[in-house]
Amino acid sequence: VVMCWTGTGASLAANKVRGIRAALCHDAETARGARVWNRANVLALSLRATPLPVAREILDAWFSTPYSDDEWNLRQMARIRAIEMEIGRHADESPPLLASQLD
1 alpha-carbon distance from chain centroid? 11
> Looking at the DSSP assignment, which residues form a beta bridge with residue 4?
46
Catalytic residue of the set 4, 12, 20, 54: 4
Query: Does the annotation mark 25 as catalytic?
Result: no
4 alpha-carbon distance from chain centroid? 14
| Catalytic residue numbers, as ranges | 4
